[in-house]
């Protein structure tokens, strides 16, 4: 299976900085890289990224989507709007959305369903906090989060991407060891296999501070199918090294 390296710019970027970054990525990436490459960017920059990446090996997507189709929901962005910008992916349930915006497992699941209905691949994030890991609840938490999505999307679960992001490793400089990451990925893989036909492998990305230095070791694990890359995706050389590792 082809690995997927998706950059999550979070709330970063500017027209000038984006243009420089995307130009560097396009110049360095071959027309047909060995791994799939994507950038998930803030809403205001979707038009810029679409124009810059059309015809290249770089796919693009958004960082969130509304549970609503349309209507009086000020500040929300629908899946149909994302489709107008040819988004291939959208991140749903990122730990920062769960923490700062109170998104429940059910809300995340409904967002995944909206994305799929619009022909957009949701990158569904799951992960545990440090307290949950210390209590031995990692497996329970990630399986509960993923189960809500499996229940909501039904047979379409084969079309999602899952990202395991240990909350304790996001933006902290800490990273799960390859063995720790693989253990959780294996749990998620077993859960997906019970819901997806055996011939279809759902990609599971690692999303806890993947860097150019640790990417190769993480990506060598049997159940890690790529990375959801945060800070390193804002630096062309670091992001390209991670793509090369894939």
- Is 9 a known ligand-binding residue? yes
Q: What is the pLDDT of residue 199?
A: 61
CA distances (Å), 176 to each of 84, 208, 209, 227, in order?
A: 37, 7, 8, 13
Are the CB atoms for 148 and 106 separated by under 8 Å? yes
Q: Provide the CATH topology of domain 4-245.
A: TIM Barrel (3.20.20)
Q: How far apart are CA 222 and CA 105, in angstroms?
A: 27
Which residue is catalytic, options 96, 128, 165, 185?
Answer: 165
Q: What is the pLDDT of residue 87?
A: 98
Residue with tokens 């230095």: 213
- Is 230 a known ligand-binding residue? yes
| Angle 174-226-63 from CA coordinates, rounded to 5° | 80
Which residue is catalytic, options 20, 94, 155, 179?
Answer: 94
Domain edges within the chain: 4-245
Per the annotation, the verdict on 76 as an active-site residue is no
- Using DSSP's 3-state secondary structure scheme, residue 224 falls into coil
Q: What is the pLDDT of residue 116?
A: 98
Nearest CA to 50 out of 24, 103, 89 is that of 89
Per the annotation, the verdict on 96 as an active-site residue is no
Q: What is the pLDDT of residue 227?
A: 98
Residues in the chain: 246
Q: What is the pLDDT of residue 15?
A: 98
Q: How far apart are CA 224 and CA 66, in angstroms?
A: 28
Q: What is the pLDDT of residue 205?
A: 98
- Is 8 a known ligand-binding residue? yes
Q: What is the pLDDT of residue 112?
A: 98
Q: Please list the ranges in the chain whose pLDDT falls under 70.
A: 171, 198-199
């Amino acid at each position: 299976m082809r690995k997927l390296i998706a950059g999550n710019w979070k709330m970063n970027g500017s027209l000038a900085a984006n243009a420089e970054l995307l130009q560097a990525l396009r110049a360095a990436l071959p027309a047909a890289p060995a791994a799939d490459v994507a950038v998930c960017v803030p809403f205001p920059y979707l038009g810029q990224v679409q124009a810059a990446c059309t015809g290249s090996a770089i796919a693009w997507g958004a960082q969130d989507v509304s549970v609503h189709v349309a209507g009086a929901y000020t500040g929300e962005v629908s899946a149909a709007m994302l489709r107008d910008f040819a988004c291939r992916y959208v991140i749903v349930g990122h730990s920062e959305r769960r923490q700062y915006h109170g998104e429940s497992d059910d809300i995340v699941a409904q967002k995944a369903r909206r994305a799929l209905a619009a022909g957009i691949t949701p990158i569904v994030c799951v992960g545990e906090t440090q307290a949950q890991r210390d209590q031995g609840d990692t497996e329970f938490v990630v399986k509960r989060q993923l189960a809500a999505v499996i229940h909501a999307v039904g047979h379409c679960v084969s079309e999602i991407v899952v990202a395991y992001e240990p909350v304790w490793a996001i933006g902290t400089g800490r990273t799960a060891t390859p063995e720790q990451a693989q253990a959780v990925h294996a749990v998620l893989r077993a859960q997906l296999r019970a819901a997806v036909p055996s011939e279809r492998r759902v990609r599971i990305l690692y999303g806890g501070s993947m860097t150019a230095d640790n990417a190769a070791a993480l990506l060598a694990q049997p159940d890690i199918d790529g990375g959801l890359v945060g800070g390193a995706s804002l630096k062309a050389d670091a992001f390209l090294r991670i793509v090369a590792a894939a």
